[in-house]
Amino acid sequence: MSIIEVENLTKVYRVNKKKPGIGGAIEAMFKREYTEVRAVNDVSFKIEEGELVGFLGPNGAGKTTTLKMLSGILYPTSGTAKVLGFTPWERKNEYRRQFALVMGQKNQLWWDLPAQESLYLNKEIYNVPDDEYKKVLDEMTELLQVKKLLGVMVRELSLGERMKFELIASLLHTPRVLLLDEPTIGLDVVAQKNIREFIKEYNHRTKTTILLTSHYMGDIQALCDRVIIINHGKKFFDGGLNDIIGKFSASKLISLTFENGGVSKEDLLQFGEVLECEKLKAVLKVKREEVTKVSNQILEKWSVLDINIEEVPIEEIIQKVFVSSETQA
């Protein structure tokens, strides 16, 4: 069953074009010129119950605008969307009680109150029964290891700790749909890992449908089997993360550790692009279909202590996807 259904969703903004300087400001008072910006352009997709889908695109691609329409914050210019059978921008209470939106750059916690006060306020807003609130709160604070911080003022929490409480606040009413917009932005490596593990465990345990935007490819690799990519407001790709690797990465990396020195960059150039060559270690970028042949040739020619074959970093592959979408725009 499709929990989220989006058909030809479009959002167009009229932007005032003002000439620079005082003259431009005076002219704009009497005559204004507008240009249209298509933040989201004819986007369609479906997400099934329990899926955790990555929503990717460069800055300004239309990701956040799409999430805002799915949460009912924005009205579309055209197109339709159904989430849990509801039209989001009708803002019915029955719908608002079943979804949550977490934005990494926006706070919903009260800055000058202890975290537990903001959580209790959310509990009252969503009419969460006392016993259910206590159960969810105990469970979430235990999973995220923040139980001892409930009485701390929000402004005294670290960024990672605040994001954990933001997640808890959004999950108190056990939503069926969770929209996550850059939930790990600005966090250190440890905090990012903690948030990822929590999201993965929560999705696995509750089967909550999650749509996740992130610029950290580590988030996408760790959490999402399926990704939707948009650029300039248009959908460019919708499929498995592994399908992106196969379609946009023609190469693999071969990492080598030699038993003896004396292997130079010039010696290795015949096999592929040499990304690294120093002392006893080297890294080659080799065409995918030639990996086996090249590996055998190197093993026959030199004494190799260790060889490791892996995919090109996902960041590089996604960048190629964005470049490809630019040329087709």
pLDDT at 12 over 80: yes
pLDDT at 329 over 60: no
Average pLDDT score over the chain: 88
Kindly indicate the confidence band of residue 92, based on its pLDDT and cuts at 50, 70 and 90. very high
b/e for 167-187, b at 16 or more Cβ within 10 A?
Answer: bbbbbbbebbbbbbbbbbbeb
Which CATH code for domain 250-311? 3.30.70.980
Q: Angle at CA 160, nearest 5°, toward 103 and 195?
A: 70
**What are the structure tokens assigned to 111, written together?**
């800055």
Tell me the CA distances in angstroms from 76 to 41, 59, 86, 126, 177, one per residue in order.
Answer: 10, 20, 15, 26, 20
Under 8 Å between Cβ of 82 and 8: no
pLDDT at 321: 75
Kindly indicate the confidence band of residue 316, based on its pLDDT and cuts at 50, 70 and 90. confident
pTM here is 0.81
Residues in Cβ contact with 266 at an 8 Å cutoff, skipping those fewer than 6 apart: none
pLDDT, one tens digit per residue, over 270-310 is: 999 999 988 889 999 999 889 999 999 999 988 888 999 98
Which fold is adopted by the domain 2-242?
A: Rossmann fold (3.40.50)
- Average pLDDT on 156-185 reads 91
The CA R_g of the chain, rounded to the nearest whole Å, is: 25
Residues in Cβ contact with 311 at an 8 Å cutoff, skipping those fewer than 6 apart: 245, 249, 252, 253, 317
Q: In whole angstroms, what is the distance from residue 191 CA to residue 226 CA?
A: 24
pLDDT, one tens digit per residue, over 236-272 is: 889 998 888 777 778 889 999 998 877 888 889 999 9
pLDDT, one tens digit per residue, over 173-232 is: 999 999 999 888 888 888 888 899 999 999 999 999 999 998 887 888 889 999 999 988
pLDDT, one tens digit per residue, over 29-81 is: 777 777 888 899 999 999 999 999 999 888 888 999 999 999 999 999 999 99
pLDDT at 163 over 80: yes
User: Which sign, positive or negative, has the C-alpha torsion 304, 308, 312, 314?
Assistant: negative
Indicate the DSSP class of residue 313. Answer: P
pLDDT at 327: 64
- Average pLDDT on 142-158 reads 91
* Extents of the domains making up the chain: 2-242, 250-311
pLDDT, one tens digit per residue, over 271-282 is: 999 999 888 899
- Average pLDDT on 92-121 reads 89
